[in-house]
Structure 1
């Protein structure tokens, strides 16, 4: 079954205003934009991860996870944002079956070198579960052998 969903705009509804596209989720952690200032050819994921761990140490043990639908640059729903995908669009339905989208089953973007926060997944191999709200930093570091 293809990952193609149909949904209509709530803001500018009109005849033929049905979007059809694949949807996935992209995640971010506090201060993971640190890697945006570096060329992945000039720095290792381990070096960036070490810098990131030092910077987030003062942020507390529970780090919030941000969620976006990258193809639309909209916040994912059910994440505590004031405005999100469902603010602007109707609930997606599968283009072939007509079944309502279960947001927890969407694919997560795999971070590649150069992507926002790529070094976190690169070093730990970890990705959150879809729409997971927090990650416990000490557990992430211990489970991946960083500590």
Structure 2
């Protein structure tokens, strides 16, 4: 992926003792400029939680959505959660289900549980306890129970 070396350098620097977050942020922005979707996801989480930047759930949603549209599993999960809770966007349980499903199919394990939960309660999808059991059993196999 374009910008992976810059993104990896940002991660390495972020994990250092006394990390210079200004430098990390600059590296992530540089990687974002070449459409590195992992960096775009990382920046989205910074805005979502107010890490070194002013918290801005709308900016976070925009960045996370871009990463999710480019198949970053964690971004799909965060977008699903944003739609389910109405954080940075209008609450939309149908879109929450679609994005949890996408994240699950991309291998995001917590999303497997979430798909089962939504089927069980009929949130954003028709209630189906049999499908819920299948998804929840798979989640349980991976050690995820909530």
TM bucket (normalised to shorter chain) is: under 0.3
Q: Considering only CA atoms, is the larger Rg found in Structure 1 or Structure 2?
A: 1
With a CA cutoff of 8 Å and minimum separation of 6, indicate the structure with the bigger relative contact order. Answer: 1
TM-score, normalized by length of structure 1?
Answer: 0.27
TM-score, normalized by length of structure 2?
Answer: 0.27
Whichever structure has more helix as a proportion of its residues is 2
